Amino acid sequence: MKREIPLILTAVVGLTFVVQFFIPHYPLGFMADMFSDWFSIVAACAIWLGALNLLKISLNKVYKKEKDWFFAIVTIISFLVIVIAGFFFSGGRRFQEPGTNFDWLYINVYSPLSATMFAMLAFYVASASYRAFRARNAQATILLLAAFVVMVGRTPFSDWLSNLLFMPEGWQISNLSNIIMNFFNVAGQRAIMIGISLGLISTALRIILGIERTYLGGD
Amino acid sequence: MFMPKKILLSAFFVIILPLVVWLVHGLPGQQSISYPPYDLTAISTPGDTAGSIALNWFSLDGDNQSAESFPDYRILRSGRAEGPFEEIGIVAFATPRATPNSRQYRDSAVETGNSYFYKVSCLVDGSSVESNAAGPIVPVAQTAGEKLAVIEDVILFPPTQLRAFDSPNDDGHSISIEWKISPNDVFRGAKFSGYDIHRSNVPEGPYELIGDVTGGVSDPGRGVKIFTDGNNVQDGKEYYYYVNARWDGQIAGSGVVGPVVAGQQWFHTGRGVSLILLGILIFSILFYINQAKSGKELFIRKIAGLEAVDEAVGRATEMGKKVFYVPGTQDMDNVQTIAGLTILARVAKLTAEYETRLEVPVSRSLVMVSAREVVKESYLNAGRPDYYNDDMVYYLTDDQFGYAAGVDGLVVRQKPATIFYQGAFYAESLILAETGNSIGAIQIAGTAMPAQLPFFVAACDYTLIGEELFAASAYLSREPKLLGSLKGQDIGGKLVFLSLAIIFIVMITLLQKHGISGEMIRVFEVH
């Protein structure tokens, strides 16, 4: 039964969502909404599993003085500070409102750190592009040229360059950039999207029918 | 030298086909010249106690520029729809305009009780362009009263063609209302402040305000504004509606529509095509599962990223370093995460066999629990349950960039030999993959997020592109049922769907070429 009950639950919930997509009549839509709510409740309760696991692993590291245990101390202190500030020093249920200690930590500590990580993406894009656009062979050279046209075409500089090169009406770099993006890029993207959609449906079907069960802990 | 078949096929789909589509759509620089319809509207002037008729129409191209050479609009009137129409006035370029792109004219030389038809004419490139005929309009002398609007220089026209109907394809409790927007509701018309929607259970009222919307159209194709009333609507009960347009202190109301009754539908009519396609896919998958079960050999093409899994784990073993497995940042309700866990099962089995250390940092508690079960089972299957430890799979944080920072820190400090990224990723994909690349780890990524694929391709050694991620389970396990479903997906999906897609494209193109459109083409629309 350890395997059967999860499989039955998966099949019932999965089929409800599929049937509800085609039959909007009550109670299918209601059931689908209810299952979504259940998932949210289970996920919200499960957050404690994760949080306690994080604390346990970090405390273990500090206790055993494992390598890089200092970072575990930072994790523990950060965790405790935000939890204590949120639960006990931020006005109870109104902890998310502006002006609370929790809000102060969110605005002044969490947001800048998060923004810093996101901003680093620019440098990573530059280094990845540098590697990807090296003209090592014919295909990479085509990629490089296409990327050059698209990037230049998206800047005001492209019109100036097009005029300098006496490019005819309709063949300016900005226009070529749009053509690459609207036709060649869209064609490739849609091919991938169709494949993804088919794979997604097929995998969902395998899970609903119980053919795919690896996620339950078996193969 | 012969070009490989794969390159020729790729060239066809990626270069030649889009090139043909692009050429069919038109060469660059070719632009059609079109004149907007006048869209002439006529109403009995609100607030005019003497009785008059107000006209409104959208300006022609050129009328909104500074060139004063634009010819005058000629206002034509008749007592009958078929004419003859006689000129009763002109609106010159210099005449102050009602809104940035519309014009108005008020005909006071009318008799109350008579009906009139109107047209507007203008000379464009030497030929006369005439508007639609608006009418019949009967001027009504408004009686003075408290609620009588003051006649302004610009007259507010009400929304027209108001229609209320049960919202289609839903589970009831909803009524859709649509109307053709007021002619005063134009782009840059800053004085226009939107529409108020009123509802009652009886036509004579009283009506209550149930919502308001800003100006502009919701459906540009039909030029209508749509509002969905889900405000305590009871199925089976009759409702009446009217809509007020608001402009600079003036209010113009539409006529009342109704009764309309909300109800629920048994089938979503916009999803018939999806149902047929799903049926084909299911049939094909079940057919090939049956074939596989009966022992028939099924050919599955090689997937380089999955072939490299053994090599990648082997490399970590040789180097005596760890294997990192990152199952994405989404929860267990995402199919990509589940697909990622099936690959984790294979990786965990290999690390158990090779006695290599495995670490799985996750960003969702439920994924942590599931991943632990998967890894535990794999170690058991490999005959090394003693090597399994719950702490191999651990939680970091739900936060996207917090998780990226956490994994990056672990990667930089522990320098694993191999990193797998399998699941759903967003902006953190490149941050993770570039950090892994910087320490020289062999990286195998797989995701079905199209926007993240280029990043993984640029930064990783192997990438499972979209559907390959979903094929991994069958490919790695070689179980007949799974292989059959994979084959069914390929045949039923790609072959049948793409053949149908090409047939439909040709059909729609031919239908449009021969001027057949509208309802016939809508049959093929998928919602």
Q: What percent of chain B has pLDDT over 70?
A: 84
Q: What percent of chain B has pLDDT over 90?
A: 33
3-state secondary structure chain A: CCCHHHHHHHHHHHHHHHHHHHCCCCCHHHHHHHHHHHHHHHHHHHHHHHHHHHHHHHHHHHHCCCCCHHHHHHHHHHHHHHHHHHHHCCCHHHCCCCCCHHHHHHHHHHHHHHHHHHHCHHHHHHHHHHHHCCCCCHHHHHHHHHHHHHHHHCCCHHHHHHHHCCCCCCCCHHHHHHHHHHHHHHHHHHHHHHHHHHHHHHHHHHHHCCCCCHHHCCC
For residue A182, what pLDDT is reported? 92
For CA atoms A34, A36, A42, A48, the dihedral sign is negative
In the structure, what pLDDT confidence band is assigned to residue B56 with cuts at 50, 70 and 90? confident
CB–CB of A207 and B338 under 8 A?
yes
Same domain, B325 and B471: yes
Same domain, B183 and B91: no
Distance from C-alpha of A199 to C-alpha of A202, rounded to nearest angstrom: 5
In the structure, what pLDDT confidence band is assigned to residue B311 with cuts at 50, 70 and 90? very high
Report chain A residues whose CB lies below 8 A from the CB of B498: 194
Residues of chain A with pLDDT under 70: 217-219
In the structure, what pLDDT confidence band is assigned to residue B12 with cuts at 50, 70 and 90? low
Which CATH number do you get for residue B132? 2.60.40.10
- Please tell me the least confidently modeled range out of B272-276, B314-318, B493-497: B493-497
Residue-wise pLDDT for A182-209, tens only, equals: 999 998 898 889 889 888 888 888 889 8
For residue B519, what pLDDT is reported? 55
Nearest CA to B486 out of B286, B295, B347, B333 is that of B286
Q: Give the mean model confidence (pLDDT) for residues B499-524.
A: 72
Is the confidence at residue B496, as pLDDT, over 90? Answer: no
Question: Looking at per-residue confidence, does B326 or A133 come out higher?
Answer: B326
With contact defined as beta carbons under 8 Å apart, do B317 and B404 qualify? no
With contact defined as beta carbons under 8 Å apart, do B461 and B442 qualify? yes
Which CATH number do you get for residue B388? 3.40.50
**Residue A18: strand pairing partners:** none
Report chain B residues whose CB lies below 8 A from the CB of A25: 171, 264-266
What is the pTM assigned to this prediction?
Answer: 0.76
CA distance B409 to chain A (A): 9
Question: Looking at per-residue confidence, does B24 or B463 come out higher?
Answer: B463
- Is residue B19 a part of any domain in this protein? no
Instruction: Nearest by CB to B342, from A71, A188, A215: name it.
Output: A215
CB–CB of B29 and A169 under 8 A?
yes
In the structure, what pLDDT confidence band is assigned to residue B21 with cuts at 50, 70 and 90? low
Same domain, B226 and B276: no
Q: What is the ipTM of this complex?
A: 0.90
Question: Looking at per-residue confidence, does B223 or B146 come out higher?
Answer: B223
CA distance A99 to chain B (A): 22
Same domain, B286 and B316: no
- Is residue B18 a part of any domain in this protein? no
For residue B81, what pLDDT is reported? 83
Q: What is the mean pLDDT of chain B?
A: 82
CA distance B349 to chain A (A): 10
The structural domain count of chain B equals 4
Same domain, B499 and B456: no
Residue-wise pLDDT for B419-458, tens only, equals: 999 999 999 999 999 999 999 999 999 999 999 999 999 9
Question: For B256, how many CA atoms within 13 A lie in the half-sphere containing its CB?
Answer: 14
Is the confidence at residue B65, as pLDDT, over 70? Answer: no
- Please tell me the least confidently modeled range out of A203-217, B27-41, B78-92, B463-477: B27-41
Q: Which residue of A has its CA nearest to B375?
A: A217
Same domain, B474 and B345: yes
Q: Give the mean model confidence (pLDDT) for residues B460-484.
A: 88
For residue B69, what pLDDT is reported? 61
**Residue B78: strand pairing partners:** B117
- Is residue B113 a part of any domain in this protein? yes
For residue B82, what pLDDT is reported? 82
Same domain, B281 and B376: no
Is the confidence at residue B143, as pLDDT, over 90? Answer: no
Instruction: Nearest by CB to A50, from B365, B431, B477: name it.
Output: B365
Same domain, B453 and B490: no
Same domain, B383 and B418: yes
Residue-wise pLDDT for B210-264, tens only, equals: 988 888 888 887 778 899 988 888 898 999 999 988 877 778 888 888 899 999 9
For residue B162, what pLDDT is reported? 87
Structural domain including B368 reads 304-478
- Is residue B365 a part of any domain in this protein? yes
Q: Give the mean model confidence (pLDDT) for residues B49-72.
A: 72
Same domain, B337 and B399: yes
- Please tell me the least confidently modeled range out of A158-167, B150-159, B196-205, B218-227: B150-159
* B497 at A interface, C-beta within 8 A: yes
Q: What 3-state class would DSSP assign to B58?
A: strand
Same domain, B398 and B497: no
Question: Looking at per-residue confidence, does B15 or B471 come out higher?
Answer: B471
